[in-house]
Structure 1
Amino acid sequence: MSGLYDAFQRRLHVTGTLVTETGLHIGAATDGLDPTAVDNAVVRLPDGRPYIPGSSLKGVLRSFMERLQNSPGHWLVSPGAPPSECLHNESRKDLVKQFKRQRRSERELAEFVWDHLCPVCRLFGSQEFAGRVLVADLMPLEDRVLLERRHSVAIDRDTRTAAGGALFDLEVVAPGTRFALSILVENPSDAQVRDLMVVLLALSNGEIALGAKTASGLGRVRLVDARIADYGARDVLAAAWGGARPSYSLAEYVRLLGLEAEEPRVSREALQAALAALGPEVTWQQAQAVLREVFGGERGA
């Protein structure tokens, strides 16, 4: 069964540089004992430099893919259970407990969980299934990283004025800071690789924000110089004896997948049904709205 990890079948290794285009804040826990310390400091390495936890980046990548999954149109091609029937939903978690009580084998349990996961959970994991996307902590590439201290104040939503005693400092990583990115993907299918490339393309275009205060302009990042190695067990052995694994830039790899040439597709029956509902005479705006709904978002415009 290709969904499980009992055999090494394929590995994707994505490397690159994540560059901050605006200030970035990923907060760290503070004990509040130092009165001169920043109220909201960033996470740091023992040497004092900030870094980006892999879990933070993985979380926003997963969230973006979930939005694609929930959007109209066929944005994702990897198979899986409908999101409403996924074991990730609170109402479906008892199914696993019921299956375990039947004293089935571990193999049967693994296959049962796999069959009841949506495409996002199959790729990024859930409480019942280990995700195949492994994101390492992103370490700073500079020996010295600039940090900024910004003063902010909380706003009372009722009075629309500054809330009393709500002045605080926010520490942010300066724009232009570079972090090393490394993502491993274990045993992905061709369809899962295609869906992950859509997410990475969005990251390379600066369309995925990271960290706190993104609505206020922070957290704009961009993936640059991305390289992708796609290999199997035979390539691992070859590399162990000094051989090189081929790697591609993100643009080259996307072209190899044929992703750039893809266009949204719908059945002829669905398109005819949507157009028939308009009536004998329609305005261009009405027709455009129907096409957007059928094809999904702006791609149908």
Structure 2
Amino acid sequence: MLRRIELEVLATVERGDTIAELAAKLDHSESYLSRTVAELVEKELVYTERDGRRKRVLPSAARAVEIYRDLVRQHSHVDFPELLTGKALEMLYYLNQPRTVSEIAERSDNYRNTVNRVLKRLRDRGLVGTDDGRYDFNGDFDRLHDFARELIHHHHRQRLESVAPSGTILWEDYDEFLAQTETEIEAEHFHETGLARFAAFDLQFLLTRHRYYLYSEDVETVPPAELCCHTLLIDDDTRHRSYCLLLLSHVDVDESDLRERAAKYDLEGEIDTLLQYLESRGEVEDDRLPEWSEFQELAADYEVPLDP
């Protein structure tokens, strides 16, 4: 996410430093620092101002920059630029609560050896500790998770604004996010989801002015199980739950896959309720679910057969 030199610049730059002054502080060439600053400007983590023939560098107001610089000031003995390179930020992102190595590996889709190596490095420096096999932060180093989360959010927002300036992020993970926009997006890695995506499964619904997209570099299209979860994230009301029920009745969705994706979005309870509703033919107490007779009528309207 950020190279060591970029973290060094963010940790070191004082308001109004020139490229030459930064180069002297960090013992790098001016040309190298100039390229690094340009990359940080592109990421909107610093900005520059002209002062005659000189260019002065200033930290941006991004929340991630503020958290990081505050950590550096309060813990000057810690070499954060060294510790936070490679996979470290990804591991910190998923350490929002005490977790085992296996749990972090599963959530981040990394090998256990990779997670172990990163966490050992952080533990050896006193930033994290273990209790009953679960890693957690020591002291106020939990702000490292805040830094990772804010940095990723900043990156996602920047990516979304480049294609949809008025877009809103509804859900995000380290390398994916779900966005609501008022315009169509045709950019690479943005996959249409929400009610418009139901048409791919022969379910045509009346659409609002909003469009919904999953940003992910790992998928080609949004499959039914994922679509069901996105629909609940967009709005967990009776209407959207009914549409999910239609989809689950109309398309053969592997239940284990559906539950796995529900866990990814922290929707295990909601998905379990939908599955129980279909299995029991409506014998579930939930104000956000339709009466079974109402759902039968809806299914008939969309020519979706229900299991007897």
- Into which bin does the TM-score normalised by the smaller protein fall? under 0.3
| TM-score normalised according to structure 2 size | 0.23
Q: Which has the higher strand share?
A: 1
More helix per residue: 2
Q: Quick one: higher RCO (CA 8 Å, sep 6+), 1 or 2?
A: 1
